[in-house]
Structure 1
């Protein structure tokens, strides 16, 4: 059904119930759906479990034409697309791990305009075979959705520089389409402070966007941080916590593939049915582990950040961070997997003793990431004068190691503009002080997590303040986190 043919909002709700079975929208889902159907740009910050995907999937299905969903992880794409396919809905995905036969099948469906939703990564979107097809004048494109938009801020400068070029996508596509074509852009995330919101808005070039900003606070999520004094002590504290959960479903988050495999093996020897889950696994293995956890055959999964996005399990009663994430945005995403049914859930984070003398692993991990970040910015500074004033991203990436990263950092420092998604124009005079300042800002963002782990304030009050909900944070006490319980 096409939106223009729908005579009333009741018709939209009828389609919503027909596809998903729900009687009505949860606030502010209805307003977001209406905004996207009206082709309005939007920035949406909804807590984990807030039903974000429905907000862009429904408008896409109610219109003719295609909606592009830019997604950061293969696992996330596969989960969402599989759910849509199970409902016999016209959705597909493209990513680098896809067998060539399936890839060709999707590209043909794209050319025949059989799809309503196409999920792909920023890198795949900007790959030649995909971009050529998207630029066909007859292909109607309604919207560009950036799912998990905090990844643009988190990874766009250094790890996934293609994110920085997304703002050039809409104008480039519109040049190929009939006059009067409108393509709406909407960014969805569970975590974006005011700085991140500004970055997302600027990079994507949102035009008079509508903002939907909902506090991340979840009154059923009990936050706790515990200090450990040795690697053995860390494992024992985690084990004691899980033993107290009497078979309840949970998740153990680690920061590396190796840690997930070593811990899963350790738990296996103790008789726990679990598995290691990370981005290095094949699609079939990932599906198998997810299914085992979703149907209750395994109590928990030992996973990296690759697990959780887009996987819906309502009765997760606990989340353990065996090691703390680098960023608060990651932390909120991951603890948010707990208690989606509204019942209480506990989130425990284990941290090394603060000096790092007895147990230096957390300090070493933190220092490694800070040093890596610093080296990326230093490399960008060295490349600044070598890069041509204007040129192709592909050429720079071929000629210079980390050339694409250097371009992304220059764009982040407002020293470069994209002529289109594939070419750039550099400022004739680069302000090096801006790059130094940008590096310092990134290090400051990294330090927010340490501040959270060591705060004596109510943990939810700290999070509300950091994510820009300053009014809500005034005199706020959750009365459930470890700090509130201590003060009582």
Structure 2
């Protein structure tokens, strides 16, 4: 804390108590707040429910000037901004679904320097009207926060290519600001293995970041993976699990929008109060489902990965993966929504039998994902021959259907350099990196079929080897079967 001095640290604690009502921080919240107030770069890995958002919201509110929070999902931004506004704090959000009038008001407040926190997606940050205001010399920007930073790794090479351009944002903004201006960059996530940590730090061009890593282990969260031999058997296991836990709050995760709608309709027919939740719903529809679930009117929701990021409900007693996620980081994110109140909670994953003869769905899903990754990579390599050596991302995206994704893949394989967030330069031939996503999908498969303690596997996978040595949690299905 000594970077700030005692008097101002008392101010930090007073503000913390006044706004959020807590007397003191949980470790390492205080150290992170101190680090961000000193405008240092940082990489923070804290389990879901560990109080990450306070760590960047508090420093932003204590400084004059603006902090940008780059966030992946509209629902996540809406939740955080709503909470801040209820506390009468100067926060706003910008996204493509906003009504024009609201967007105009936020843009005015931004230009007039009335905001402390502005939440936006990578795509909105890099849109021309927003970028134009942010680049004005008089607009003071203190820091850029990348919230849910694992999305950069999970989505940056595929359907959210703007993530790969975020490292060029700080240098470009600094060029338009007065000499000596400092803008810090901090990345927050609940899940990043050593490879993902390196990717985040490299892409964001973090400069000597302070690193805070808490391991994901939760003593109250009981992990279980169960084979469902047929599609019908999978439904029966799910139904039996929920019947045995009447009125307990839970979440059922599926892979696609259609799965969420089909399964929710099936439950509704059986008399359950539930609903489907996915990114295809309007903001109003999403809000209604969230409100029903948070208030307990609806005990569980059938959802895709679009649900849950940043939504805080302490008493979730179970999370079921009706289909296993493709990546271990998604899995840890999603199971982390259970048992935030510290009371026992269960995480059940249903999988097909390993051969896939009786139910080939899981296998098909994995193969489809791998095939998609490979074909995108091939498209990128073919496109490199047609592209100008130096060019502009929007014109490439207009000219080629997969243009923006191809550029992000070339960046990830070290074949392209961003001159600024909008212009690229193709590098001379380099050794191409392997596709990280495929290795990560393989790791998920190993986890599901591992014979050892599940928590030990997760600790090792996320780089906590010391803690994982000789580890037995004693409460996962593997430990209990022994």
TM-score range, shorter chain: over 0.9
State how 1:76-475 maps to structure 2 within 5 Å. 76-427=76-427, 429-431=428-430, 434-435=431-432, 437-439=433-435, 441-475=436-470
- 1:185-218: CA deviations, max 9, x gaps? 0000000011110110000000110000110111
Cα deviations across residues 200-248 of structure 1 (Å, max 9, x unaligned)?
0000000110000110111110000000011111111011111111211
How far does the alpha carbon of each residue in 1:371-391 deviate from its partner, in whole angstroms, 9 at most, with x for none? Answer: 001100011111111111111
1:472 Cα shift?
0.7
Counterparts of 2:60 and 2:147, CA distance in 1? 14
Contact map agreement 1:13 1:24 (CA 8 A) in 2: yes
Following the alignment from structure 1 to structure 2, what is the Cα–Cα distance between the partners of residues 372 and 103?
36
1:49 matched to 2:39? The reply is: no
Q: Deviations over 1:386-444 (max 9, x none)?
A: 111111111111112211111111111111111110001111x324xx44x523x4311
**Which consecutive unaligned segments of at least 5 residues does structure 1 have?**
none
Partner in structure 2 of residue 482 of structure 1: 477
Q: 1:316 deviation in Å?
A: 0.4
Rounded Cα–Cα distance in structure 2 between residues aligned with 1:23 and 1:317: 28
SS at structure 1 position matched to 2:367: helix
Structure-2 separation of matches of 1:282 and 1:398: 27
Determine the C-alpha separation between the residues in 1 that align with 2:65 and 2:240.
Answer: 53
TM superposition shift of 1:291: 0.9
Return the TM-score normalized by structure 2.
Answer: 0.98
SS in 1 for 2:346: strand
Contact map agreement 2:144 2:186 (CA 8 A) in 1: yes
SS at structure 1 position matched to 2:316: coil
Structure 1 segments, 4+ long, off by >4 Å, are 3-6
Deviation at 1:6, TM superposition (A): 8.7
Per-residue CA deviation, residues 439-487 of structure 1 (Å, 9 max, x unaligned), is: 3x43111111111100001000000001000111111000000000011
CA distance in 2, matches of 1:478, 1:405: 41
1:4 Cα offset (Å): 8.4
The answer to whether the Cα contact below 8 Å between 2:122 and 2:166 also exists between their aligned partners in 1 is yes
CA contact (8 A) 1:72 1:121 kept: yes
Maintained 8 Å contact 1:6/1:12? no
Aligned length: 480
- Answer whether contact 2:153 2:200 (CA < 8 A) is retained: yes
Question: Equivalents in 1 of 2:294, 2:340: separation in Å?
Answer: 14
- Could you list the per-position Cα deviations for residues 296-341 of structure 1 after superposition, in whole angstroms to 9, with x for gaps in the alignment? 1111111111110111100000000000001000000000000000
In the TM superposition, residue 347 of structure 1 has moved relative to its aligned partner by 0.3
Q: Aligned in 2, Cα 1:6/1:475: closer, same or farther, shift over 3 Å?
A: closer
Gaps of 5+ in 2: none
**Counterpart Cα distance in 1 of 2:416 and 2:409:** 9
CA distance in 2, matches of 1:4, 1:478: 40
Q: 1:5: Cα distance to partner?
A: 11
Q: Distance in 1 between matches of 2:259 and 2:437?
A: 26
Q: Is the 8 A contact 1:384 1:430 kept in 2?
A: no
CA distance in 2, matches of 1:268, 1:376: 38
Q: Give the deviation of 1:158 after TM superposition.
A: 1.7
Contact 2:4 2:34 in 1 (8 A): no
What displacement does 1:8 show? 2.8
Q: Distance in 2 between matches of 1:424 and 1:8?
A: 43
Offset at residue 32 of structure 1 (A): 0.3
Which shows bigger deviation, 261-270 or 129-138? 261-270
Distance across 2 between alignment mates of 1:148 and 1:477: 29
